[in-house]
Structure 1
Amino acid sequence: MNNRIYLESFTKPAVYYKFNELDISLESLVSYIIFKFCKPCELDVVFIFKEAITENSAPVFKLNEVDLKVLDTEDIPWQVLSCNFPVLKSEDTIVAGLCSVARYICKHRSTKKLCEENDEGLLSFRKGCLQAPNEVSVWTKFCEVDIIQTVLDVVTTEQMKEVPINLIRFENHLNKPVRVHNVYRLARELKKENKNVIDKKKEITNSLNEPSNKDRSSKPRKWKSNCRKAHEIDCTTKIEDLNISHKFAEGPFFTLADLILLTCYRIMFQRLGSNCFESLLPLTYKWYVNITSIPDVKDILDIIPQFSSKSMNLDNISIPVVDDVSLYKSDPKRHNPKKRLFTKELDIENALSALKIGMELSVTNNQYKSTISWNNVPDGANPFAGHLPDVRIVRKSQQLENLAQAVLEIAQDGDLIVDFCSGSGHLGIFLAHLLPNCTIILLENKEQSLLRARKRVHEMCLKNVYFFQCNLDFFVGKFNIGVALHACGVASDLVLDKCLKANAKFVLCPCCYGSVNATNNRIVYPRSSTFNSLNLDQYLCIGHAADQTHKDHHLTERGARCMGIIDSDRARLAEEHGYSVTMSRLTPLSCTPKNNLLIGIPS
C-alpha cells in the first residue's frame, strides 16, 4: 500500500491483538473519525506503537475497534518517523499535521456527499477549507491546536472555575457574520433557492385554490417593472445584512472543520454535560445538536469513546472576558500586531543608540567564484527554463549560486539536507542535481507549491528528493544541513532553532525582518544573551528599519546595518550553542535587497 496514514498508539501490538483495545492520542482519534466518515479509496490506516507515556503526559483515548493494524516503530519508514503524528505517506511525499492529513482524506473520499455540504464537498468552495497553515491562519490554528489543547485540559481538570477561553471564542465566532471570500455569491444563491421554494409553495397553493373554468373571470394584466429591485444583493451590501448564519462552523455548509470539531466537542459534552453548554454556550449547543442530528454523522458517534463517566464539578463557574471577534482572520475587529509600525525616526535612532560595541557581527562580501554553467543544468533545476518571470531569472540564478556554493563547501556524501520553506523547490532541486549522493527534503506547507516542485523532480528522474508538506513545527527528524532562502520573518528563526536542536549545519538567507513579532510564543526576542540590553520595542523597531533597503533610497545604508543587527543576534544565539558562524553578503548585492548569508558549523 503506497498511500497510508500513520497514527500514534500507546498500546503494544501484542496487547491490542489480545484485547482489541487501543490507547491513542486525541489527534489520532480525530483523524481516525474523519477516516471512518470518508472511507477514502486506496488509503489505509496504521497505528504505530510508541513507548509507554509518563504520568505527566497528555491523556489517552481508548479505541475499541477490531481489525486495526498496529506496528512497532522499526517497521515504519524513516520519513514518517521524522514528523509528528498524524502522518500520511504517499510514495515520495509526506503530509503531516491534523488539518493537512484530514484534507488529504477528504480528497480521496468514497462516501456520498451530504445534502448539507457545499457542491464541492467537505473542503467547500475551491477546496479551501483549512488550507492555510496554522502559522498564518487563526481558524486553522483553532481547529488544529487550540481546541485540541482545550479538550486535553478539560478531561484532566477535576474542578473548573471558568469556561475555557477557546469555548468562548468559538461561541463568539458563531454569533458573527459569515466571512468567506465568496460570501456575496453564496448569499445570492441562497436567496435564489429560498425564492424558488416560496414560489413553489405559492404555485401549489394557487393550484389548490384555483376556481374551475366556469368560475373564472378575466383579470386585468399586471405589468412587471423592469427596474432593479432595491433589495438586490451586491458588493455594497453589508455582510451583516446578507442573512447568512453559522448553521455550521464555517457558515451554511457542513465542512471538514465541523468533522474535526465534532470529536472534540463530543468529548467535552460528555465531560461537562449538555446542560452546561445549553445554558452558557447556547450557539455552540445549537451547532452541536444540528450536526449530530445528521444521519451520516450519527453513524460515527459511537466510535468516539466515553472518556469519563464522572461528572465535573461546575458549581459557580464563571465566564471570562474574551475579545468579541470571530475566528476569521478577515474580521476587521481582530487585533493585528503588524499594523503597528515601529519606524519613527526618533525611535529608530534611540534603538540604535542602545547597541553596545562588539554586539554586531562583522559582515563580508561573499568571495566565492561561480563554477556553475547554467547551460549544463537540466530544465527542472534551471531558472532559465521558464519557471519564473523574465525579470526575476537572473537575480534568482545568482541567489541560487550563492547558497549552493556555500552548501557544496560543507556537504558530505550521504548527508540529509532540508530545504526549509522551499516554495516550489528552486534551491532544493538545484542542490539535488549538484549533490546526487545526498538526500534532499523539500519542506513546505503550501500544497500547490510542492506539487509544482514534484512535477519538475519527476520529469528530471531525480531519486534523491522527498517532499514534506507540513508546518515547521511538525518536522522533528534529524538532518545534517538546513538551508532556507528568504524564509520570511519568524520563519527564519524557526528554521535556525530546528538546525540548532538537530546540531546541524545551516545556510540561511533571511527575509522580511519587519515581520518578526512577539506574538509567537515559541520565539523570544532578542534571541541571544549578547543582545539582551535591547528591549522588545527597540528590537522590533530595528527589525522594521531593516526592511528599508530599497534601491536608490536614502535610508538603504541604515537598513542594511539594521539587517546585520538582527542577523548578528541570530548568529550570537548559534555561537551560544557552540557554533562557528560567519555572516557575508550575496554576490552581486543587486541580486536581492535581503542579501545577508548566515553559515553555521557546529563544533
Structure 2
Amino acid sequence: MKKTDSTSQQERLYLDHSSTSDLPLHTSITLFLLSYCECKSFQVFLVSSNPRGSPLCWGTRVPEFLGVSEVCVEDLPELVRGCRLPAVLDGAGRYCRAGLAVVLRHIVSRTVEADSCRGGVSALLGFKSTCLKACAEVSPWTRLCELSIPSAVESLLLRSSHQSLLLPDAILQLEKTLGEPVKVHNNDKIRRQKLRLRKKKEEEEEGSDPQKAPQESSGTASRPPPLNPEPSDGLELQAALAKLSLGAIPPPSTRECSEIRKVKTAALPALEHVFAEGLYFTLTDMVLLPCIHHFLVVDPTAIPRC
C-alpha cells in the first residue's frame, strides 16, 4: 500500500497557551500524553491570545520531537475557533474533535494506528476501550477528571500564597472515590485469588510458629476471611505490573479449590486502588497525574489540617 506523506493531510492539534509563561493544565495533560505515547501523528500548534509578533515562552515544557508551532487566535481555522481547546482538525479541515477526553482518546487511537505493536498504549483506554468515553454532561466521573479537578487546581495556583487555602471539593471527591473498593470486570476471580494468597500466607505463618499452629489448625478452614483486610497481600500491585509489562504472559487459568469457591462474594476481601480506576494504568491516570502534581507543589503550610 502506498503511503501518503503529505503534510496537508496530517491532522492539526491546537493547544491553548495563556499569555503567561505557565501552560494551562489541559495543555500540559495533552503534551504529557503525546510524550508518553511518543506520538508524531499531529502538527501541534500552541494558540496564543498575544498580538502577532509576540513570541510565546514555553521553555522546556514542550517535548522537542513534536516541533510545535505558534498561532494567534485570529489565525485559527473558523471551525477550531468555535471550539474549546484542545482540538484536533482533520487533514481536510472539515472535521474537528474538541474537548480534553475526546482529544486524548483520539491521540491514543492514532498512536496505535501508526504502530500496531503499541499494545501498552491501547491499554490506556481500559476495559472495552471505555475509559473517559462518556462525555462530561452525562458522566460524573468524566466531569470530575476532565473539568472539575483541573479547574480546581488551576484556581489554587492562581491564588496568592498568603491566602488561606481549603481543599477543593473536587479533590475531596477524588479522595473519597479512591477510598472505595475497586470494581473490575474480573472482580470475583481476583478477589478469590487474593483470598487464596491470604490463606496460604496464614498457613505459612502458622507453620513457622510451633506454639500457635496446634491452637488454630482446627479452625483455620472454617474461619471467615476478614471484611476489611490490611493492604499486605500485594495482589493488586502484581496485577497492575503484569498489565504494564509489555512482555508479560498471562498466567494459565486455574480453578480455585472448593474451599475458596464456596466462599460467598460478599465475604471476599475487597480490592484496593493501585491507580485511579482500580488496578490498571489508564487514560484517567494520564489526566490526573499532572493535576495532582501541581496540587501537591502548592505551599502545604497554607492548607489547613483537620
Interval of TM-score (by shorter of Structure 1 and Structure 2)? 0.5 to 0.7
Other-structure match for 1:70: 70
User: How far apart, CA to CA, are the structure 1 residues paired with 2:129 and 2:195?
Assistant: 25
> 1:17-416 alignment to 2 at 5 Å?
23-51=22-50, 63-64=59-60, 65=62, 67-90=67-90, 91=92, 92-109=94-111, 112=118, 121-157=123-159, 158=161, 159-180=163-184, 182=185, 185-188=186-189, 229-232=258-261, 237-238=265-266, 241=268, 243-273=270-300, 313-314=302-303, 317-319=304-306
Do 1:25 and 1:61's aligned partners in 2 also have CA atoms closer than 8 Å? no
**1:230 Cα deviation from its structure 2 partner:** 4.2
Q: How many pairs does the alignment contain? A: 227
**1:50 Cα deviation from its structure 2 partner:** 1.8
User: How far apart, CA to CA, are the structure 2 residues paired with 1:88 and 1:187?
Assistant: 40
Aligned-partner residue type, residue 262 of structure 1: L
Other-structure match for 1:447: none
User: How far apart, CA to CA, are the structure 1 residues paired with 2:104 and 2:50?
Assistant: 25
Do 1:23 and 1:63's aligned partners in 2 also have CA atoms closer than 8 Å? no
Note the alpha carbon deviations across 1:476-502, whole angstroms, 9 max, x for none. Answer: xxxxxxxxxxxxxxxxxxxxxxxxxxx
Do 2:156 and 2:165's aligned partners in 1 also have CA atoms closer than 8 Å? no
Structure 1 pair 126–245 and aligned structure 2 pair: CA distance change class (3 A): same
Higher strand share: 1
Counterpart secondary structure, 1:47 = strand
Identity across matched positions, percent: 24
**1:161 Cα deviation from its structure 2 partner:** 4.6
Other-structure match for 1:527: none
Do 1:134 and 1:140's aligned partners in 2 also have CA atoms closer than 8 Å? yes
Other-structure match for 1:290: none
User: How far apart, CA to CA, are the structure 2 residues paired with 1:189 and 1:260?
Assistant: 26
**1:189 Cα deviation from its structure 2 partner:** 5.1
Other-structure match for 2:15: 7
Structure 1 pair 5–190 and aligned structure 2 pair: CA distance change class (3 A): farther
Other-structure match for 2:240: none
Do 2:182 and 2:270's aligned partners in 1 also have CA atoms closer than 8 Å? no
Structure 1 pair 43–195 and aligned structure 2 pair: CA distance change class (3 A): farther
Counterpart secondary structure, 1:254 = coil
**1:113 Cα deviation from its structure 2 partner:** 5.0
**1:233 Cα deviation from its structure 2 partner:** 8.4
TM-score (norm 1): 0.34
User: How far apart, CA to CA, are the structure 2 residues paired with 1:51 and 1:269?
Assistant: 30
Query: Superposition RMSD on alpha carbons, in Å?
Result: 3.5
Do 2:195 and 2:268's aligned partners in 1 also have CA atoms closer than 8 Å? no
Do 1:24 and 1:61's aligned partners in 2 also have CA atoms closer than 8 Å? no
User: How far apart, CA to CA, are the structure 2 residues paired with 1:160 and 1:272?
Assistant: 10
Counterpart secondary structure, 1:4 = strand
Do 1:7 and 1:47's aligned partners in 2 also have CA atoms closer than 8 Å? yes
User: How far apart, CA to CA, are the structure 2 residues paired with 1:227 and 1:6?
Assistant: 52
Structure 1 pair 233–149 and aligned structure 2 pair: CA distance change class (3 A): farther
User: How far apart, CA to CA, are the structure 1 residues paired with 2:126 and 2:195?
Assistant: 20
User: How far apart, CA to CA, are the structure 2 residues paired with 1:144 and 1:37?
Assistant: 19
**1:186 Cα deviation from its structure 2 partner:** 4.2
Aligned-partner residue type, residue 16 of structure 2: E
Aligned-partner residue type, residue 6 of structure 1: Y
- Structure 1 segments (4+ residues) deviating >4 Å: 60-63, 110-114, 189-196
Unmatched segments (≥5 aa) in structure 2: 1-6, 201-254
Bigger Rg, which one: 1
Counterpart secondary structure, 1:24 = coil
Unmatched segments (≥5 aa) in structure 1: 12-20, 53-59, 200-225, 274-311, 320-603
Counterpart secondary structure, 1:71 = strand
Counterpart secondary structure, 1:44 = strand
User: How far apart, CA to CA, are the structure 1 residues paired with 2:141 and 2:57?
Assistant: 25
User: How far apart, CA to CA, are the structure 1 residues paired with 2:97 and 2:260?
Assistant: 47
Do 1:161 and 1:318's aligned partners in 2 also have CA atoms closer than 8 Å? no
